[in-house]
Amino acid sequence: MRKTFFAVIGLVFVSQGASLLAQDPAPPPLQASPPAAIGAAKVAWVDLEQVIMLCEEGKRELTELQQLIDKRTAEMRGLQQEAQFLADQLRVQGDKLRVEAREELQGQIENKNIQLQRFQEDSQKEVDYRRARITNSMTGKVLPVIQDVAKARGLSFVMYLNPSVAAWVDPALVITDEIVTTYNAAHPVAAPPAAVPPQP
């Protein structure tokens, strides 16, 4: 009787174990779907220096800068002529002048040369400052224009054209002219006032 009971119990465990083994295996964990493919980036180039030189505002600013350069150049030539005149005077009359007069003339030449050197340095600083101010001011205005054109074209990014970095760029990818046209529309330059005719 006891053997039959244990045999029944053993059959129960065996049948339960068999039923567990007969169950379907657990499904594998879900894998994340791969990210969507990223399309090719659309790139364009712009020559910032050309934009400043070709747009109407840049032409006006650079014309005024050139006028300043011409004015300072003329003034410097005048100082050079004065210094040369004093040097020639000392060369021609030096032996005939009294010591006091010769020393005074030499002092005038030295002062004139110092004046000329300082004028050259100050003029160069003034021109460099004006040029940097033009570049910085217009660059700040050009950047929003580039962004607007890039968005309208669906561009991924726009790079500055730099010959030291890119040896060659397809001209179809250069949008400098479009930037100039858009900049002129966004920042129109007032026409200069008409010249007043001379009174009779």
The pLDDT assigned to 165 comes to 85
- Each residue's pLDDT tens digit, 25-44: 555 565 655 555 556 789 99
The pLDDT assigned to 14 comes to 41
Mean of the per-residue pLDDT values for the chain?
A: 83
Domain ranges of the chain: 41-186
- Each residue's pLDDT tens digit, 62-81: 999 999 999 999 999 999 99
Confidence band, pLDDT 50/70/90 cuts, at residue 93: confident
The pLDDT assigned to 167 comes to 85
pLDDT for 10 beyond 50: no
**Residue 191: other Cβ atoms inside 10 A:** 7
- Each residue's pLDDT tens digit, 130-181: 999 999 999 999 999 999 999 999 999 999 998 888 888 999 999 999 999 9
pTM above 0.75, yes or no: no
